[in-house]
Structure 1
């Protein structure tokens, strides 16, 4: 999976992975701008212009994953990081899965608030489930919370499956249109589910001001930049993360270790490749 998506600048990938007799290790880039969740919590809501840039970068990243045959399956603000220039990047591929166009996964996985109805109903899901999560993310960026909430998990699932999304009148008609398309409960009718995939979303009128080529090459500069004092700055992360102990995880049993044969990976160095 790392080999499939290693070249994409809007995804946080492993620089290398390796294993010892008892441990698996994955080395990731440190993105010092903090979680998108952290900045959303501090600002309360994002303007449509600010949310448009973040959503466009997320759509570009998810489209790249889908074109590589990969579904993320856990898109949420905690899994989106911001770099020092204000660009957002996807991380945490722990639930990602390779799925071809004709197959579906029946796993119940993800974070409930962002899970598509077809996952909760165990109907089988594919890449269309990611576009539902993108819709939830956009709704949360524009309103400050997901469209479906409840302290009881079962009742939360029932709301996601049965209730209609309430769209705030202060949002633009184009934002309403995009949210309705992404938060379509029937995955076959969901925006992005057709043969054009992510390109169908990119061509939506809410994104009419986005130059996708410049966005994907990082030529478009976000107006908001996090306050970063240096490469090792952790000021944009909540203390609940930075105060976590660095304990090594328990060693797996020998039987479990058999599932990770061939885990070691080092990305090819373009400077050392033969001509």
Structure 2
């Protein structure tokens, strides 16, 4: 997403859990199928390395134009994520391929973004060498595109197929929700206040 001045904002409208670290890993199976890291699919404990995997999938899609892993259905997609290597087209610059390979590393202990990654920190990768991170953080770099918004709720850049839809809540039946084990969501920054511990 872009803010009103054209600065990039990564956004995830899904669930969020704070304070993930090696001493406080998660094990909840959640995420958008194409972006789920292998350790989540395998039911292993995980930490913020899953976000770097998702970033790798997103970056791959941006530079290649398609997803790195595909399947006819969710089971086949998950099998590919866990067992196949992404295809890297010949047109990719070596720095681009290198950062993608590091982000799409199936072993979370070796994945770029892990504190002990032998390739170093993400901002030190050759792919990002032209970025002045301090200026970027201060928003001192002029974005190449600045959206022309009429007001704060302007949605002209969104596909009209989505903006003409009527908002519709899809509440879950209270009896169904009450029958489901909610303990797997303990520790999330927001949980349904209507469920009991």
Q: TM-score range by the shorter chain?
A: 0.7 to 0.9
SS of the residue aligned with 2:121? Answer: helix
CA distance in 2, matches of 1:214, 1:235: 29
> Please, what TM-score do these two structures have when normalized by structure 1?
0.58
1:113 and 1:156 in contact (8 A); partners too: yes
Measure the CA separation in 1 of the matches of 2:28 and 2:65.
Answer: 29
- How many Å separate the matches in 2 of 1:185 and 1:115? 11
Residues in 2 aligned to 1:229 and 1:125: alpha-carbon distance in whole angstroms: 42
How far apart are 1:250 and its partner, in Å?
4.2
Q: Structure 2, unaligned stretches of length 5 or more?
A: 179-191
| Alignment-derived partner of residue 83 in structure 1 | 3
Confirm or deny that 1:96 pairs with 2:16: yes
Contact 2:14 2:31 in 1 (8 A): no
Counterpart for residue 108 of structure 1:
29
Identify the structure with bigger relative contact order (alpha carbons < 8 Å, sequence gap 6+).
Answer: 1
Pairing 1:163–2:94 present: no
Q: Within 5 Å, give how 1:144-163 maps onto structure 2.
A: 144-163=65-84
Size of the alignment, in residue pairs?
178
Partner residue of 1:210 out of 126, 131, 134: 131
Equivalent residue of 1:157, what SS? helix
Q: Deviation per CA, 1:248-271, whole angstroms, max 9, x where unpaired? A: 564985x864459xxxxxxxxxxx
Spell out, residue by residue over 1:38-78, the C-alpha distance to the aligned partner (whole angstroms, 9 max, x if none). Answer: xxxxxxxxxxxxxxxxxxxxxxxxxxxxxxxxxxxxxxxxx
- The 5-angstrom pairing of residues 20-31 of structure 1 reads none
2: distance between equivalents of 1:224 and 1:169?
A: 29
Partner of 2:187: none
Paired with 2:147 and 2:85, the residues of 1 have a C-alpha distance of: 35
**Mapped contact 2:109–2:116 kept (Cα < 8 A):** no
RMSD: 2.5
Within 2, Cα distance between the matches of 1:94 and 1:259?
Answer: 19
Q: How much has 1:83 moved relative to structure 2?
A: 1.9
What's the CA shift for 1:204? 0.7
Partner Cα separation in structure 2 for residue 116 and residue 195 of structure 1: 18
Task: Quote the offset at 1:90 in angstroms.
Answer: 3.1
Structure number with higher strand proportion: 1
1:231 has 2:152 as partner? yes
